[in-house]
């Protein structure tokens, strides 16, 4: 009577082994020698290394990634702190302005010094300037119908927008500043406190300084503050 040949040894499914080890994390307790015998692919070179060395390499990589991420967070925090301090100085300088001309000049000086914005214009309707003892001084200008139409067209039915400025637009909208050699760029926002109060333009001779993809939250915020201060500083009929 002949014996039946033994069945070929079945190969364990790696996924099954992985699931079993995940359910039995204490399997290697008391089997530390087995850990030292295991070999896994080296993460940076050909060949194999021990499991413990691989774990050390993985932990080092994670630590380096976490350190890089922490440095990014610290850089972001430092940037936000700097932005807060610059914005605070800007608002305090605006609040100290004694009249509308001083307001415009403080705005231009602060934006140039702290926000790399070399050109600023405030276009105000006659209702805010007619009762002033003298004509507005740059960067303030009296808004006329033609300029209002052009500014409205540049905004394209939006409250604020970053866009390119042609040389002809620059010459009309920022007449008190040096004309750039080529096209520039600007952040433009509509001023209003219940009713339209003109426009604020932050401009740069660089065509890429204010890009269309940029957020305009800061420009809108400054515009909101400036509009309210302009109303407060406007002389009354009996002022």
Q: Are 186 and 163 in contact (CB under 8 A)?
A: yes
Assigned domain for 118 exists: yes
Sign of the CA dihedral 180, 182, 187, 189? positive
Q: For residue 89, what is the domain's CATH number?
A: 3.30.450.40
Assigned domain for 129 exists: yes
How many structural domains compose the chain? 1
Q: Is residue 130 classed as helix, strand or coil in its secondary structure?
A: coil
Assigned domain for 62 exists: no
pLDDT digits (tens, 9 = 90+) for 50-64: 666 767 777 888 888
Sign of the CA dihedral 108, 110, 115, 118? positive
Assigned domain for 7 exists: no
pLDDT digits (tens, 9 = 90+) for 63-86: 888 888 888 888 889 988 999 999
Structure tokens at 173: 């909208």
Structure tokens at 230: 């302009």
pLDDT digits (tens, 9 = 90+) for 194-225: 899 999 999 999 999 999 999 999 999 999 99
Assigned domain for 41 exists: no
Assigned domain for 168 exists: yes
Assigned domain for 96 exists: yes
Domain enclosing residue 128, as ranges: 71-233
Assigned domain for 131 exists: yes
Structure tokens at 172: 């009309």
Phi, psi of 147, rounded to the nearest 5 degrees: -65, -40
- How many whole angstroms separate alpha carbon 118 and alpha carbon 109? 9
Length of the chain: 239
pLDDT digits (tens, 9 = 90+) for 112-163: 999 999 999 999 999 999 989 899 999 999 999 999 999 999 999 999 999 9
The answer to whether the bond into 203 is cis (omega within 30° of 0) is: no
């Amino acid at each position: 009577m002949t014996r039946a040949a033994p069945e070929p040894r079945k190969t364990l499914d790696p996924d099954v082994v992985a699931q079993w080890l995940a359910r039995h994390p204490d399997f290697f307790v008391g089997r530390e020698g087995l850990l030292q015998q295991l070999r896994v692919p080296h993460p940076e070179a050909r060949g194999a290394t021990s499991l413990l060395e691989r774990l050390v390499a993985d932990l080092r990589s994670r630590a380096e990634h976490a350190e890089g991420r922490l440095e990014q967070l610290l850089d972001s925090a430092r940037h936000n702190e700097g932005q807060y301090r610059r914005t605070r100085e800007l608002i305090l300088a605006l609040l100290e302005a004694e009249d509308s001309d001083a307001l415009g000049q403080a705005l231009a000086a602060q934006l140039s010094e702290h926000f790399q914005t070399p050109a600023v214009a405030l276009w105000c309707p006659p209702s805010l300037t007619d009762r002033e003892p003298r004509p507005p001084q740059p960067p303030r200008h009296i808004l006329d119908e033609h300029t209002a139409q052009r500014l409205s067209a540049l905004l394209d039915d939006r409250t604020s927008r970053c866009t390119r400025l042609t040389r002809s637009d620059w010459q009309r909208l920022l007449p008190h500043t040096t004309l750039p050699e080529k096209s520039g760029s600007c952040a433009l926002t509509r001023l209003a406190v219940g009713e339209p109060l003109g426009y604020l333009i932050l401009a740069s001779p660089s065509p890429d300084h204010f890009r269309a993809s940029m957020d305009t939250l800061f420009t809108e915020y400054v515009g909101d503050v400036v509009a309210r201060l302009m109303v407060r500083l406007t002389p009354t009929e009996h002022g």
